[in-house]
């Protein structure tokens, strides 16, 4: 199995791989997501690695060792190594190299350390019985080379197959880059990317980490979410009444107070079709057709029920700050397709429709965003993103794709755990 600890540390899901090969151009055509780790990231890893090794072993202690060996005439040799410690470890120099067809190489030289401990030994036979205990101290200088295959992807030009996606890794002197095949499956539904707009020239090497995400991968995910019933939501109680405390410029309909006066009032909103998104330099636009129904929660068939359907488009621009995803939205189009009040299917006036439009823009869309921001943040955090020190993350929208670019720092405790796992 090929191990990808660096990318696993960053992405959190590169596991369970098998291999098959295909040419680079074909991999681009099927690409849905790209991850690029650049040389500055390797430099940070180098710097942090040397600090961690130096700190971790500054006053390290090791388990005692005890054993017995048979030595013919002398009988049994009993020995014990106790209180083994490493003191004053210093690293004179460390270097990092992105090696073609190999990965990240770390070379640490002029490492000096003092080893201290106690060795106890003894012989036991009919001829000789002796025990001896000696404290020892050894000064040593060594060079350390960390196997690059432990610290980077196997960058031979081969596909790697994961649970629900396929990745193409390519070797190069200046970056480690992975190409993820955007394949969505849900019951009998399958979506495959075969005409991706990705080109390596769309990514630079100025930042430490890049993610390239295609619209062709996001739209199938929207379809799967719709089919799985994810775009349905009910609001009740105080949360519902607080929604309509927002000041609007249009006058609310008189029937609205009646609908909201009951403690059992329910507002249900759902998507009537699969939302569609497309990305331009202005942001990611989303077009959706939705329905909203507001009831008093009464079993009385004569109780009023507000039902309306609408079509809307919003432009979304994403940001990230204080370990939270931020979504800024702007409605570019909204139209009320149908609006009625039951019983009797009474059609609403144009004034009432204008109120509903404003309510959707100033109440509905912000409410949806208030669910999406923490929800998507939690998804990212489950991949360990919150454990990193993200520096100046940027989300850049382009024609048909989005680029996320950032610098990052390794928290000390995370790198310690990472090195323990990779050096086992």
Pairing mode, strands 65-70 and 183-186: unpaired
Q: What is the DSSP letter of 174?
A: S
Mean pLDDT of 349-374: 94
In terms of C-beta distances under 8 Å and separation of at least 24 residues, what long-range contacts does 229-234 make, across chains too?
Answer: 231/270, 231/271, 231/275, 232/268, 232/269, 232/270, 232/271, 233/268, 233/269, 233/270, 233/371, 234/266, 234/267, 234/268, 234/269
Residues in the chain: 424
Q: Where are the beta strands (DSSP E) in 322-400?
A: 324-342, 346-347, 389-398
* Measured CA distances, 393 to 6, 124, 197, 204 (Å): 19, 68, 23, 15
DSSP letter at 73?
G
pLDDT higher for 211 or 285?
A: 285
Spell 49-81 as b/e; 16+ CB within 10 A means b: bbebbbebbeeeeeeeeeeeeeeeeeeeeeeeb
Distance CA 421, CA 227 (A): 40
Mean pLDDT for the chain? 75
Whole-number pLDDT of residue 23: 60
pLDDT digits (tens, 9 = 90+) for 362-416: 999 999 999 999 988 888 888 777 777 888 999 999 999 999 999 887 666 666 6
How far apart CA 94 and CA 144 sit, in angstroms, is 9
Terminal C-alpha separation, the chain: 15
3-state secondary structure of 405: strand
Nearest 5°: the CA angle 64, 67, 73 is 145
The mean pLDDT value for 243-253 works out to: 89
Beta-sheet strands, E only, within 57-151 = 59-61, 65-70, 76-99, 103-124, 129-146
Segment 330-344, tens digit of pLDDT:
999 999 999 999 888
Between CA 20 and CA 161 the distance in angstroms is 8
pLDDT tens for each residue of 250-261: 888 988 988 998
H or E segment to which residue 155 belongs: none
Q: How far is CA 229 from the centre of its chain?
A: 24
Checking if the pLDDT of 305 tops 80, the result is: yes
pTM: 0.67
Task: Please determine, for residue 16, whether its predicted confidence score (pLDDT) is greater than 50.
Answer: no
What whole-number distance in Å separates Cα of residue 391 and Cα of residue 411?
13
* Residue 350 to residue 151: CA distance in whole angstroms: 64
Mind listing the pLDDT tens digit for each residue in 45-64? 666 666 666 665 555 566 67
What's the chain's Rg over C-alpha atoms?
A: 31
- The per-residue pLDDT for 159 is 32
As a whole number, mean pLDDT of residues 68-93 equals 66
Torsion sign (Cα): 360, 364, 368, 370: positive
Q: Is 92 helix (H, G, I), strand (E, B) or coil?
A: strand
Is the per-residue pLDDT at 308 higher than 90? yes
Q: Is the dihedral of CA 376, 382, 387, 389 positive or negative?
A: negative
The confidence score (pLDDT) of residue 68 equals 76
178 touches 213 (CB < 8 A):
no
**Structural domain boundaries in the chain:** 231-387
Residue showing tokens 């190489």: 105
Q: What percent of the chain has pLDDT over 90?
A: 30
Neighbours of 222 (CB within 10 A): 19
Do 232 and 225 touch, CB atoms closer than 8 A?
Answer: no
Cα–Cα distance for residue pair 266/366, rounded to 1 Å: 19
Note the pLDDT of residue 62: 64
CA 187 to chain centroid, in Å, comes to: 25
Residue 417's pLDDT is 67
Write the pLDDT tens digit of every residue in 165-175: 232 333 333 46
H/E element holding 306? strand 305-321
Judging by DSSP bridges, how do beta strands 158-161 and 18-20 pair with one another? Answer: antiparallel
Residues of the chain by 3-state class (helix, strand, coil), percent to 5: 25, 45, 25
- Convert the pLDDT of each residue in 108-118 to its tens digit: 666 677 767 77
Evaluate whether the domain defined by 231-387 bears CATH number 3.15.20.10: yes
CB 334 within 8 Å of CB 304: no
At residue 205, what are phi and psi to the nearest 5 degrees? -120, 15
């Amino acid at each position: 199995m090929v191990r990808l600890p660096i990318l696993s540390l960053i992405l959190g899901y590169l596991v369970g791989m098998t291999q098959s090969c295909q040419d680079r151009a074909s991999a681009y055509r099927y690409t849905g997501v790209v991850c690029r780790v650049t040389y500055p990231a390797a430099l940070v890893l180098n710097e942090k690695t040397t600090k961690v090794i130096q700190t971790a072993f500054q006053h390290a202690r090791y388990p005692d060792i005890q054993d017995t060996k048979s030595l013919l005439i002398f009988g049994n040799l009993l020995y014990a190594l106790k209180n083994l410690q490493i003191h004053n470890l210093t690293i004179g120099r460390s270097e990092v190299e992105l090696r073609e067809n190999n990965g990240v190489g770390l070379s640490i030289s002029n490492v000096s350390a003092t080893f201290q401990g106690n060795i106890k030994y003894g012989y036991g036979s009919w001829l000789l019985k002796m025990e001896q205990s000696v404290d020892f101290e050894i000064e040593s200088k060594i060079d350390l080379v960390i196997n690059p295959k432990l610290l980077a992807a196997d960058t031979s030009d081969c596909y790697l197959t994961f649970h629900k996606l396929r990745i193409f890794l390519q070797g190069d002197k200046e970056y480690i880059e992975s190409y993820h095949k955007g394949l969505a499956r849900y019951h009998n539904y399958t979506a495959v990317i075969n005409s991706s707009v990705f080109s390596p020239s769309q990514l630079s090497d100025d930042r430490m980490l890049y993610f390239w995400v295609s619209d062709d991968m996001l739209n199938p995910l929207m379809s799967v979410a719709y089919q799985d019933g994810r775009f349905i939501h009910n609001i009740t109680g105080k949360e519902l009444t607080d929604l309509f405390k927002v000041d609007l410029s249009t006058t609310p309909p008189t029937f609205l107070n009646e609908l909201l006066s009951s403690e059992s009032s329910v507002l249900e909103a759902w998507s009537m079709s699969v939302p569609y998104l497309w990305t331009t330099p202005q942001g990611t636009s989303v077009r959706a057709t939705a329905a909203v129904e507001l009831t008093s929660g009464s079993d009385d068939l004569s109780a009023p029920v507000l039902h309306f359907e609408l079509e809307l488009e919003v432009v979304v621009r994403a940001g990230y700050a204080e370990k939270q995803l931020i979504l800024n939205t702007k409605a570019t189009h909204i139209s009320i397709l149908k609006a009625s009040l039951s019983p009797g299917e009474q059609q609403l006036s144009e004034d009432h429709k204008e109120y509903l439009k404003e309510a959707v823009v100033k109440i509905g869309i912000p409410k949806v965003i208030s669910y999406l921001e923490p929800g998507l943040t939690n998804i990212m955090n489950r991949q360990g993103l919150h454990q990193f020190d993200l520096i100046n993350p940027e989300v850049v929208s382009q024609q048909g794709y989005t680029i996320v670019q950032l610098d990052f720092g390794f928290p000390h405790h995370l790198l310690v755990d990472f090195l323990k796992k990779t050096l086992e």
